[in-house]
Amino acid sequence: MRTDFAFVGVMLVTAALLMGVTLIAASLLRPKKPSKAKLETYECGMETVGDTWVQFRVQYYILALVFVLFDIEAILLFPIAVAFNSLSFFAVANVILFIVVLLIALLYAWRKGALDWE
């Protein structure tokens, strides 16, 4: 069990090392002649106007909230799915009720226009 997850760690480190070596090798091989024009932000040829890191539209927040709702639902449902074969009728009825409540929540969000994108 512990060694199972140890491999994931080894894999992360190995992948990071391999990709890091690739990046370093490329940085040794490639030419490096920076100039002022080259280092400008690539937008449309002229100097950029205004700050990039500005406020963004609120729709993204709303979608993210709906996503969090369903992500948590999924986390709760995965253990149930693993143990599904040994569950009783009553337990499954409860789970279905839980999912239906979430479906109603989705329909409510839909009705309120949270899912509309203009």
Among 45, 46, 58, 103, binds other proteins (CB under 8 A): 103
Q: How far is the CB of 81 from other proteins (least distance, A)?
A: 4
For position 10 contacting other proteins by CB under 8 A, the verdict is yes
The tokens of 44 are what? 């449309």
Residue type, 35: S
Among 46, 55, 58, 64, binds other proteins (CB under 8 A): 64
CA distances from 56 to 52, 60, 61, 78, 116 (A): 10, 8, 9, 34, 17
Taking alpha carbons only, the member of 61, 69, 53 closest to residue 106 is 69
For position 112 contacting other proteins by CB under 8 A, the verdict is no
Among 45, 55, 88, 111, binds other proteins (CB under 8 A): 88
End-to-end CA gap in the chain: 49
For position 55 contacting other proteins by CB under 8 A, the verdict is no
For position 3 contacting other proteins by CB under 8 A, the verdict is yes
For position 111 contacting other proteins by CB under 8 A, the verdict is no
Q: How far is the CB of 14 from other proteins (least distance, A)?
A: 4
CB contact set of 22 (below 8 Å; sequence gap of 6+): none
Binding-site residue total for other proteins (CB under 8 A)?
71
